[in-house]
Structure 1
């Protein structure tokens, strides 16, 4: 393939091959329901969501987060700013990325291996469900901010537009299964469905899960109803 020319998506190649086979057999291509949007599976590395109050305590009065790069979900971004997380027994993670925009509560999302390294015993929770979770101390260039609670391992989930939910036959709060192919293929159970008109179809796994199946941009993945 010529330099600078990318290969067509796997789904396109499979469709063209299927079409050629049916033409050779002299049969019409069967009508198969097509998903309204392509499935995207991304690894969500450790990060934090902060309130404007926390941002100002860490970076200074009136400080506004700056966009480093836009994320797949519309309006969401990885900020240029990072903080240092101080865990039990003064163990730290530096350069913890902030995701914006600011939210109404503070939340730190870690993989289990991150939590073990820090000395945390973190629960598996849905995003936003932080009652009774561990807290931590965050340090920024302008000062410290203590979280009384909010350190979790986020449950794996899939963002869906209502059109996607209708196609898969699921509703908000349902669970699905994610089949990951490749040499390290696995099936992830209990993928929580989150439906909103603003969402794009995207599964979020954490780094532990992504590493376990060697998830790559070309790895075949399939969502199925549980």
Structure 2
């Protein structure tokens, strides 16, 4: 039998010891940690959906995502970048938002031939734009194409457990043969959120993220 403690187990024991010394009750994590790879996609406003798919059109949910109320829509668009380079079948995620935003990986930016900055969702000022093409028309985006910064969604109870606040940063340690630590995981706290980390496909491939790979959030 292997009695060697992992680093995560040692840290949990230290936290428990400190809590006992402070007279506080020892509690386990309120939620299991989920780390998902986010493929390229876009978020659209209701007006943008009508421009691309026709007046009165609304998104058709195809597959529910881990976060409650979020889904991959049946609808896709074609992204037209610099020098008419394209990405076909870009998935739309719903429900609709107040702004239009395209989230790509670094390899996508190389393929399209332009520089895409790393930004938190919604922070699109000064970012590149693109053209989106749907079955009913074109949408010209003056800005809104980003590489989404690695981030974690969490409920306030999770934030209390980890000792972090909204818009702070954490680290994500990924184990396995290609173990990597991400130093800047942006924290988003909301009562509607489940505990879930999002990294893009390039980042997931680089660290070998897959079934059975152990991950740990660190303050």
Q: Runs of 4 or more off by more than 3 Å in structure 1?
A: none
Post-superposition Cα deviations, 1:26-57, rounded to whole Å, max 9, x if no partner, equal xxxxx963100000000001000001111011
Q: Tell me, which stretches of 5 or more residues in structure 1 are unaligned?
A: 1-14, 16-30
Structure 2: state its 5+ residue gaps.
1-8, 10-24
Shift of 1:129: 0.5
Q: Does 1:133 pair with 2:127?
A: yes
Residue in structure 2 matched with residue 87 of structure 1 by the alignment: 81
Question: What is the alpha-carbon distance in structure 2 between the residues aligned to residue 217 and residue 195 of structure 1?
Answer: 26
Counterparts of 1:52 and 1:119, CA distance in 2: 29
Q: Tell me which residue corresponds to 2:93.
A: 99
Alignment RMSD (CA, Å) = 1.2
- Match among 157, 164, 171 for residue 163 of structure 1: 157
Which residue does 1:145 correspond to in 2? 139
Specify the alignment match of 2:20 in structure 1: none
**Partner SS, residue 166 of structure 1:** helix
Distance in 2 of aligned mates of 1:224 and 1:42: 17
Size of the alignment, in residue pairs?
196
* 2:41 aligned to which of 36, 47, 50: 47
TM-score, normalised by the number of residues in structure 2: 0.88
Q: Measure how far apart 1:204 and its partner are.
A: 0.2
1:59 lines up with 2:53 in the alignment: yes
Give the alignment of 1:1-226 within 5 angstroms: 33-225=27-219
CA distance in 2, matches of 1:174, 1:105: 24
Instruction: State the Cα deviation string for residues 142-201 of structure 1 (Å, max 9, x = none).
Output: 111110100000110000000000000000011100000011111011000100000000
